[in-house]
Amino acid sequence: ILNVEQSPQSLHVQEGDSTNFTCSFPSSNFYALHWYRWETAKSPEALFVMTLNGDEKKKGRISATLNTKEGYSYLYIKGSQPEDSATYLCAFEGGGSNYKLTFGKGTLLTVNP
Amino acid sequence: DAGITQSPRYKITETGRQVTLMCHQTWSHSYMFWYRQDLGHGLRLIYYSAAADITDKGEVPDGYVVSRSKTENFPLTLESATRSQTSVYFCASSNTLEQYFGPGTRLTVT
Protein backbone atom coordinates (compact mmCIF):
# COMPACT_ATOMS: atom_id res chain seq x y z
CA ILE A 1 0.00 0.00 0.00
CA LEU A 2 1.42 3.37 -1.02
CA ASN A 3 1.91 5.99 1.67
CA VAL A 4 0.61 9.46 0.81
CA GLU A 5 0.72 11.83 3.77
CA GLN A 6 -0.74 15.29 4.09
CA SER A 7 -0.03 17.84 6.78
CA PRO A 8 -1.43 19.49 8.67
CA GLN A 9 -4.67 17.55 9.10
CA SER A 10 -6.57 20.79 9.62
CA LEU A 11 -5.85 24.48 9.57
CA HIS A 12 -7.73 27.58 10.67
CA VAL A 13 -6.67 30.92 9.21
CA GLN A 14 -8.07 34.42 9.09
CA GLU A 15 -9.35 35.99 5.91
CA GLY A 16 -6.44 37.57 4.09
CA ASP A 17 -3.81 35.22 5.51
CA SER A 18 -1.62 33.24 3.17
CA THR A 19 -1.18 29.58 3.94
CA ASN A 20 0.43 26.43 2.67
CA PHE A 21 0.26 22.72 3.25
CA THR A 22 2.26 19.68 2.34
CA CYS A 23 1.80 16.38 0.55
CA SER A 24 4.49 13.70 0.76
CA PHE A 25 4.51 10.67 -1.50
CA PRO A 26 6.81 7.88 -2.67
CA SER A 27 9.75 9.21 -4.68
CA SER A 28 10.02 6.02 -6.72
CA ASN A 29 7.89 5.06 -9.73
CA PHE A 30 6.39 8.55 -9.89
CA TYR A 31 4.10 9.49 -12.76
CA ALA A 32 1.94 12.38 -11.54
CA LEU A 33 0.75 14.22 -8.47
CA HIS A 34 -2.81 15.50 -8.35
CA TRP A 35 -4.38 18.17 -6.15
CA TYR A 36 -8.12 18.26 -5.57
CA ARG A 37 -10.37 20.71 -3.80
CA TRP A 38 -13.31 19.18 -1.93
CA GLU A 39 -16.04 21.37 -0.52
CA THR A 40 -18.40 19.99 2.08
CA ALA A 41 -21.41 18.17 0.57
CA LYS A 42 -19.88 18.31 -2.90
CA SER A 43 -17.54 16.06 -4.87
CA PRO A 44 -13.79 16.55 -5.30
CA GLU A 45 -12.74 18.85 -8.12
CA ALA A 46 -9.35 18.75 -9.81
CA LEU A 47 -7.05 21.70 -9.18
CA PHE A 48 -3.73 20.63 -10.65
CA VAL A 49 -2.01 17.67 -12.24
CA MET A 50 1.77 17.88 -11.97
CA THR A 51 4.20 15.54 -13.67
CA LEU A 52 7.65 17.13 -13.86
CA ASN A 53 10.13 17.69 -11.06
CA GLY A 54 10.24 21.41 -10.31
CA ASP A 55 6.80 21.94 -11.84
CA GLU A 56 4.86 24.94 -10.59
CA LYS A 57 1.17 25.43 -11.35
CA LYS A 58 -1.04 28.40 -10.59
CA LYS A 59 -4.77 29.02 -10.67
CA GLY A 60 -5.78 32.41 -9.35
CA ARG A 61 -4.58 32.69 -5.74
CA ILE A 62 -3.73 28.99 -5.50
CA SER A 63 -0.41 27.57 -6.60
CA ALA A 64 1.48 24.32 -6.19
CA THR A 65 5.05 23.11 -6.46
CA LEU A 66 6.45 19.64 -6.99
CA ASN A 67 9.66 17.90 -5.92
CA THR A 68 9.63 14.34 -7.22
CA LYS A 69 13.19 13.54 -6.09
CA GLU A 70 12.37 14.04 -2.42
CA GLY A 71 8.68 13.17 -2.76
CA TYR A 72 6.78 16.25 -1.72
CA SER A 73 4.44 18.89 -3.07
CA TYR A 74 3.30 22.16 -1.52
CA LEU A 75 -0.02 23.88 -2.07
CA TYR A 76 -0.10 27.62 -1.41
CA ILE A 77 -3.11 29.87 -1.03
CA LYS A 78 -2.43 33.60 -1.11
CA GLY A 79 -4.83 35.96 0.66
CA SER A 80 -7.25 33.26 1.84
CA GLN A 81 -10.97 33.94 1.46
CA PRO A 82 -13.87 32.23 3.27
CA GLU A 83 -14.82 30.53 -0.01
CA ASP A 84 -11.44 28.78 0.04
CA SER A 85 -12.67 26.74 3.00
CA ALA A 86 -12.54 23.13 1.86
CA THR A 87 -10.57 19.93 2.18
CA TYR A 88 -7.55 19.84 -0.11
CA LEU A 89 -6.57 16.38 -1.26
CA CYS A 90 -3.42 15.25 -2.94
CA ALA A 91 -3.20 12.00 -4.88
CA PHE A 92 -0.20 10.04 -6.12
CA GLU A 93 -0.26 8.35 -9.51
CA GLY A 94 2.45 5.79 -10.09
CA GLY A 95 3.88 4.69 -13.39
CA GLY A 96 1.95 1.86 -15.00
CA SER A 97 -0.87 2.22 -12.49
CA ASN A 98 -3.69 2.40 -15.04
CA TYR A 99 -4.44 5.96 -13.87
CA LYS A 100 -5.25 4.75 -10.36
CA LEU A 101 -4.80 7.39 -7.69
CA THR A 102 -3.75 6.90 -4.08
CA PHE A 103 -5.17 9.74 -2.02
CA GLY A 104 -3.89 11.36 1.12
CA LYS A 105 -6.39 12.01 3.90
CA GLY A 106 -6.54 15.68 3.10
CA THR A 107 -6.00 19.00 4.82
CA LEU A 108 -9.18 20.69 6.04
CA LEU A 109 -8.84 24.45 5.64
CA THR A 110 -11.21 26.81 7.42
CA VAL A 111 -10.94 30.49 6.62
CA ASN A 112 -12.59 32.73 9.20
CA PRO A 113 -14.04 36.05 8.01
CA ASP B 1 -26.77 16.77 -19.45
CA ALA B 2 -23.15 15.77 -19.85
CA GLY B 3 -21.31 14.61 -16.79
CA ILE B 4 -21.16 11.85 -14.26
CA THR B 5 -24.16 10.89 -12.18
CA GLN B 6 -24.78 8.45 -9.37
CA SER B 7 -27.98 6.88 -8.12
CA PRO B 8 -29.42 6.65 -5.64
CA ARG B 9 -27.99 9.60 -3.75
CA TYR B 10 -29.09 8.17 -0.42
CA LYS B 11 -29.84 4.57 0.51
CA ILE B 12 -30.68 2.79 3.72
CA THR B 13 -30.55 -0.99 3.64
CA GLU B 14 -30.46 -3.86 6.08
CA THR B 15 -27.59 -6.18 6.84
CA GLY B 16 -27.50 -9.10 4.44
CA ARG B 17 -29.37 -7.41 1.60
CA GLN B 18 -27.95 -6.95 -1.85
CA VAL B 19 -27.72 -3.37 -3.03
CA THR B 20 -26.47 -1.88 -6.28
CA LEU B 21 -25.13 1.62 -6.69
CA MET B 22 -25.26 3.03 -10.19
CA CYS B 23 -22.77 5.26 -11.96
CA HIS B 24 -23.25 6.77 -15.40
CA GLN B 25 -20.98 9.07 -17.41
CA THR B 26 -21.60 10.77 -20.72
CA TRP B 27 -18.02 11.56 -21.75
CA SER B 28 -17.17 8.09 -23.10
CA HIS B 29 -14.19 7.98 -20.74
CA SER B 30 -12.49 4.59 -20.81
CA TYR B 31 -11.48 4.56 -17.16
CA MET B 32 -13.93 4.47 -14.27
CA PHE B 33 -13.39 4.07 -10.54
CA TRP B 34 -15.30 3.40 -7.33
CA TYR B 35 -14.11 4.88 -4.03
CA ARG B 36 -15.43 4.86 -0.53
CA GLN B 37 -14.94 7.72 1.87
CA ASP B 38 -14.68 7.04 5.58
CA LEU B 39 -13.59 9.18 8.50
CA GLY B 40 -9.92 8.70 9.16
CA HIS B 41 -9.30 6.96 5.85
CA GLY B 42 -9.97 9.49 3.15
CA LEU B 43 -10.83 8.12 -0.29
CA ARG B 44 -10.01 4.47 -0.85
CA LEU B 45 -10.26 2.69 -4.19
CA ILE B 46 -12.65 -0.26 -4.30
CA TYR B 47 -12.58 -1.28 -7.96
CA TYR B 48 -11.65 0.27 -11.25
CA SER B 49 -12.25 -0.41 -14.91
CA ALA B 50 -10.01 0.35 -17.88
CA ALA B 51 -12.72 -0.30 -20.48
CA ALA B 52 -15.93 -2.20 -21.03
CA ASP B 53 -15.55 -5.77 -19.73
CA ILE B 54 -12.20 -4.98 -18.04
CA THR B 55 -12.27 -4.53 -14.28
CA ASP B 56 -9.75 -4.94 -11.49
CA LYS B 57 -9.53 -4.71 -7.73
CA GLY B 58 -8.44 -1.68 -5.83
CA GLU B 59 -7.36 -1.34 -2.23
CA VAL B 60 -10.58 -2.49 -0.50
CA PRO B 61 -12.54 -4.82 -2.86
CA ASP B 62 -13.86 -7.41 -0.38
CA GLY B 63 -17.65 -7.62 -0.29
CA TYR B 64 -18.11 -5.73 -3.56
CA VAL B 65 -18.72 -6.80 -7.14
CA VAL B 66 -18.56 -4.63 -10.27
CA SER B 67 -19.43 -5.05 -13.90
CA ARG B 68 -18.97 -2.92 -16.99
CA SER B 69 -20.96 -4.13 -19.95
CA LYS B 70 -21.19 -0.63 -21.43
CA THR B 71 -18.57 2.11 -21.41
CA GLU B 72 -20.90 4.63 -19.82
CA ASN B 73 -22.07 2.54 -16.86
CA PHE B 74 -20.15 1.10 -13.93
CA PRO B 75 -22.45 -0.36 -11.26
CA LEU B 76 -21.16 -1.40 -7.84
CA THR B 77 -22.96 -4.21 -6.03
CA LEU B 78 -22.76 -5.09 -2.38
CA GLU B 79 -23.70 -8.75 -2.46
CA SER B 80 -24.60 -9.04 1.24
CA ALA B 81 -24.36 -5.66 2.92
CA THR B 82 -22.61 -5.35 6.27
CA ARG B 83 -22.57 -2.45 8.73
CA SER B 84 -18.89 -1.86 7.93
CA GLN B 85 -19.98 -0.93 4.41
CA THR B 86 -21.83 2.12 5.70
CA SER B 87 -20.00 4.87 3.87
CA VAL B 88 -20.17 7.51 1.17
CA TYR B 89 -19.40 6.03 -2.22
CA PHE B 90 -17.95 8.08 -5.06
CA CYS B 91 -17.72 7.07 -8.67
CA ALA B 92 -15.19 8.76 -10.95
CA SER B 93 -14.23 8.64 -14.59
CA SER B 94 -10.96 9.64 -16.17
CA ASN B 95 -9.82 11.12 -19.44
CA THR B 96 -6.36 9.78 -18.42
CA LEU B 97 -5.34 13.24 -17.21
CA GLU B 98 -7.86 14.04 -14.49
CA GLN B 99 -10.51 12.13 -12.62
CA TYR B 100 -14.01 13.58 -12.51
CA PHE B 101 -16.12 12.63 -9.55
CA GLY B 102 -19.81 12.00 -9.27
CA PRO B 103 -21.91 13.55 -6.48
CA GLY B 104 -21.66 10.50 -4.21
CA THR B 105 -24.08 7.99 -2.70
CA ARG B 106 -24.52 7.94 1.05
CA LEU B 107 -25.23 4.33 2.06
CA THR B 108 -26.32 3.31 5.53
CA VAL B 109 -26.47 -0.37 6.45
CA THR B 110 -28.57 -1.03 9.54
Confidence of residue A34 (pLDDT cuts 50, 70, 90): very high
Confidence of residue A99 (pLDDT cuts 50, 70, 90): confident
Per-residue H/E/C for chain A = CCCCEEECCEEEEECCCCEEEEEECCCCCEEEEEEEEECCCCCCEEEEEECCCCCEEEECCEEEEEECCCCEEEEEECCCCHHHCEEEEEEEEECCCCCCCEECCCEEEEEEC
Q: Do A99 and B31 touch (CB under 8 A)?
A: yes
What is the model's pLDDT at position B22? 98
pLDDT tens digits along A35-57: 999 998 899 999 999 999 999 99
What is the model's pLDDT at position A55? 94
What is the model's pLDDT at position B1? 58
Q: Do B99 and A101 touch (CB under 8 A)?
A: yes
What is the model's pLDDT at position A95? 87
Residue A29 clears pLDDT 70, i.e. is over it: yes
Q: What is the pLDDT along chain B (110 residues), one digit of tens a residue?
A: 569 999 999 999 999 999 999 999 999 999 999 999 998 888 999 999 999 999 999 999 999 999 999 999 999 999 999 999 999 999 999 987 899 999 999 999 99
What is the model's pLDDT at position A98? 81
A45 contact residues in B (CB cutoff 8 A): 101
**CB distance from B27 to chain A under 8 Å?**
no
pLDDT tens digits along A61-97: 999 999 999 999 999 999 999 999 999 999 999 988 8
- Distance, in Å, from the CA atom of B20 to the CA atom of A104, rounded to the nearest integer, reads 27
More confident residue, A99 or A86: A86
- Distance, in Å, from the CA atom of A110 to the CA atom of A6, rounded to the nearest integer, reads 16
- Looking at residue B90, its amino acid is F
**CB distance from B99 to chain A under 8 Å?**
yes
